[in-house]
Structure formats: structure tokens, C-alpha cells
């Protein structure tokens, strides 16, 4: 996954169990980006409202029809704008994953650890 430093990005995620769309009603969702998987501190962390975040972080879409199994993660410009030049390197891969806690309390991984890149920006907007 690639975003540009300082951009607002929406990441749409589809959760499936096998080939069946997973009903996300009532789940708590977590999205975390780190420099490496061993780090205790996240560069970016987003959660659903019921997990202590807000709908402006992760929004579970209505679980009917074409939006069943879908959630949207919002990475705000401010999340990456504050990173230093040393932290932003187009050749650096960060890592991210996405987890759910179901209404029954089960932990489910939606995306296992994957690469996440933050490309440097040229233009600095006010």
C-alpha cells in the first residue's frame, strides 16, 4: 500500500471468511502502521468508535448488499505530515495490519502484516 506524505487517503477494506463476505455489525476494528513489527509505538493507529476511536478513523459501512463486509479507514493528512525526512523514505517499507474483535470477543485478522509505504511529498500545502 502506498500513500503520499500529507495526503488524505481512504482505504477501503473487504473482510471475508473464505469467499463469503463477513458481517461486520458490531465489530471493533483496528488499523496499525509501524516502522517494524517489533515497535511498541505506532506511526498511525486507527480504531472504530466502539474501540475508542471514531467514525472519522474507521467506519464500518452498512452491512447490507454491496457494502456488506466493507469498512473504510481514513488516514488524515496530519497523520503523515508530521513525519520527519528521516522517517519518510520512498524505499522504506513500514508494516501494517488490520484486526477485528467480534461481538463474541473473538480476534480475527483481516490483513496480516503487509508492506506500507509513505512517499515523500514535494509540495508543502498550507
What is the pLDDT confidence band of residue 116, given thresholds at 50, 70 and 90?
Answer: very high
| Mean of pLDDT values over 32-57 | 95
Give every CB contact of residue 61 below 8 A, 6+ residues apart in sequence: 24, 67, 70, 71, 72
| Domains of the chain and CATH, by start | 2-119 (2.60.40)
pLDDT at 125 over 90: no
The answer to whether 107 touches 28, Cβ cutoff 8 Å, is no
What is the pLDDT confidence band of residue 92, given thresholds at 50, 70 and 90?
Answer: confident
Mean model confidence pLDDT for the chain: 92
- CA distance linking residue 126 with residue 54, whole number of Å: 25
pLDDT at 126 over 90: no
What is the pLDDT confidence band of residue 91, given thresholds at 50, 70 and 90?
Answer: low
pLDDT at 90 over 80: no
The whole-number pLDDT of residue 101 equals: 97
Q: Which residue has the cell 484486526?
A: 99
DSSP state of 85: T
| Mean of pLDDT values over 15-41 | 94
Higher-pLDDT residue of 123, 13: 13
Higher-pLDDT residue of 81, 11: 11
What DSSP assignment string belongs to 22-68?
Answer: P--TT-EEEEEEESSTT-SS-SEEEE-GGGTS-TTTEEEPPSSGGGT
Amino acid at each position: 500500500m502506498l500513500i503520499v506524505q500529507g495526503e488524505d487517503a481512504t482505504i477501503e477494506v473487504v473482510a471475508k471468511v473464505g469467499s463469503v463476505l463477513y458481517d461486520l455489525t458490531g465489530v471493533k476494528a483496528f488499523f496499525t502502521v509501524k516502522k517494524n513489527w517489533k515497535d511498541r509505538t505506532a506511526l498511525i493507529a486507527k480504531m472504530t468508535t466502539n474501540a475508542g476511536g471514531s467514525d472519522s478513523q474507521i467506519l464500518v459501512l452498512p452491512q447490507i448488499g454491496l457494502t456488506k463486509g466493507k469498512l473504510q479507514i481514513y488516514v488524515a493528512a496530519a497523520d503523515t505530515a508530521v513525519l520527519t525526512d528521516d522517517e519518510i523514505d520512498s524505499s522504506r517499507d513500514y508494516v501494517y495490519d488490520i484486526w477485528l474483535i467480534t461481538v463474541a470477543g473473538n480476534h480475527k485478522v483481516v490483513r496480516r502484516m503487509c508492506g506500507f509505504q509513505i512517499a515523500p511529498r514535494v509540495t508543502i500545502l498550507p
